[in-house]
A = this chain, B = another copy of it.
Amino acid sequence: MSNESPCADSSGIRPGEVAVELPEKFDAGVYFIGRIRTPWKTREECPKNARESEAVCTIELDARYAAALKDVATSTHLLVLYWMHQARRDLVLQVPRHYGEQRGTFALRSPVRPNPIAASVVRLLKLEGRRLSVVGLDCIDGTPLIDIKPYFASTDSVPDAEVGWHAARKR
């Protein structure tokens, strides 16, 4: 679902990028509940966004949570949240490599953000045990999973939504 690769550079700052000092302490804690298996071993190999690839990826849920998969297979699509563990968290202004223009972090789907949580809509192909085969991910192999949600078209789908800065680029 990201339109920025989750495989961006995690070190260094490009001209035009601005970092802030992060708080000294975290406010809450996250459990990694599984891992995502993809064909991409490095950030450079990852597709620029998930729609560029029809690769089948595998979500492996930890045994502890297996019962929570009941009824999941009745969904055609899922919203998957995962933790971009290689991304720095302190940039408020970024210059994405493939756009070359300065944007606010919250105007981008870049993994670089205060809380490096990615949200991707995936198509569910198959659920076997604790393994979900899906299409629609673009992250590095081994990425930590943090949530799986059913995708409700009634509330999650807005076909006519526009991201102005992105649309302007393509005109």
Contact = CB atoms under 8 A, between A and B. Distances in A.
A71 B89 CA distance: 19
Contact of A29 (B30, B144, B147): B30
Interface in A87-108: 89, 92-93, 102-108
B30 A75 contact: no
Nearest to A113: B147
Given A104-B68, A153-B158, A31 B26 contact: yes
Given A49-B155, A153-B162, A71 B107 contact: yes
Interface in A6-28: 18, 20-23, 26-28
Interface string A95-130: 000000011111111000111010111010000000
